[in-house]
Amino acid sequence: MKYFTQFESKALADQLIEKALFYKANPRIDQEKGAGKRIGCIFLNPSLRTRASTQIAALNLGMEPIVMNMDKEGWALEMKEGVVMNKGTVEHIKDAAAVLGSYFDILAIRAFPSLTNKQEDIEDFIFNQFIKYSGAPVISLESAIRHPLQSLADMVTIREQSGDAKKVKVVLTWAPHIKAIPHAVANSFSEWAIGCGHDLTITHPEGYQLDPIFTNGANIELDQQKALEDADFVYVKNWSAFNDYGKIVTTDNSWMLTEKHFRHAKKAKVMHCLPVRRNLELSDEILDGKRSIVQEQANNRIYAAQSVISHILG
Ligand SMILES: NCCC[C@H](NC(=O)CCC(=O)O)C(=O)O
Ligand SMILES: NC(=O)OP(=O)(O)O
């Protein structure tokens, strides 16, 4: 495997989930595997979990991580081909990515969408420029349209929490927010949950349909109460409109989950990738209550990353 950017197959997902659970039980068992190798973690946007968990994962494998916050510490990058660089950008992605590719054995990149240029975002243009020009193996730390390390950690968490249950009902519910938020987490969660064979229902207000490329195979139910019935796992996430691209269509706060939403889903566990805006996206009551498994999820980010890095190292 040279690139970890999206769901590939159930067989690979199962292998990565098993390996993540193995590393969780034996974090340092492969301390020699990455010895003498470096991973470059390139952030064009903020991060807490992805930044720290990827570094810990690399260190568990004996590999040296170097983090660059390119949005703040690097030169302003030009992404377009053939432009006269007489404005704000200082260095072309061609040159920067080629240098980074020569410095590192693996490159890991975070590049959020603009939410203003739909075509560029759905092509994952900036992320793909790094792939094109670096020549190195690349791991996505969240691109414009996907967040596969998050989704892998989510699948690990569901596997861990569901024990012997053969089939679980998973619900992805939209939550209110005050800002236009990317689709990446919701897209990826849907892609991985369907790919891993879970029974997935997606619920959101009118106008928040996700790109069907990612949701094909899910049950779409616009009535949140109905969607939540008998859920085993409820994944909470805000996203902006996809059709009316990047717009906020409603902020209806009745969509924020509280205990009363779980009348017909008594056993449901609640997931969120974090960061979460409390009492806007999700209530204190849920986040601090027994249903929440958000800390377990965040912890599993380490072993998801370790599993992927190990797989790329071969
Ligand atoms: N990496 C996890 C989520 C990152 C991003 N959240 C945010 O941008 C939150 C911003 C805010 O709450 O102001 C998202 O939802 O895609
Ligand atoms: N869940 C997640 O990706 O968190 P960060 O944005 O803090 O990395």
SS (H, E, C) 178-222: CCCCCCHHHHHHHHHHHHCCCEEEEECCCCCCCCHHHHCCCEECC
Asked casually if ipTM beats, i.e. exceeds, 0.90, the reply is yes
pLDDT(250) > 90: yes
Ligand nearest to the CA of 185: 1
- Structural domains in the chain, CATH included, are 3-146+301-313 (3.40.50.1370), 150-298 (3.40.50.1370)
How much distance in Å is there from the Cα of 108 to the middle of ligand 2? Answer: 14
Q: Is 311 annotated as a binding residue?
A: no
What does the block give as tokens for 79?
């992404």
Could you tell me if the CB of 143 is within 6 A of ligand 2? Answer: no
Could you tell me if the CB of 150 is within 6 A of ligand 2? Answer: yes
Q: In ligand 2, which atom is closest to the CA atom of 53?
A: 8
Using 50, 70 and 90 to split pLDDT, how confident is the model at 287? very high
Which pLDDT score is estimated for 163?
84
Using 50, 70 and 90 to split pLDDT, how confident is the model at 292? very high
Which of 151, 181, 185 has most ligand 1 atoms within 8 Å of CB, for mutation?
181
Which pLDDT score is estimated for 165?
81
Other CB atoms within 10 A of residue 188 CB: 26
Region 204-217 average pLDDT: 98
Could you tell me if the CB of 273 is within 6 A of ligand 2? Answer: yes
pLDDT(71) > 90: no
**CA geometry: angle 25, 28, 29, nearest 5 deg:** 80
Q: What DSSP character marks residue 260?
A: G
Q: Is 257 annotated as a binding residue?
A: no
pTM score: 0.98
Mean pLDDT of the chain: 97
pLDDT(168) > 90: yes
User: 309 with 296: CB under 8 angstroms?
Assistant: no
Max Cα-Cα span within the chain:
61
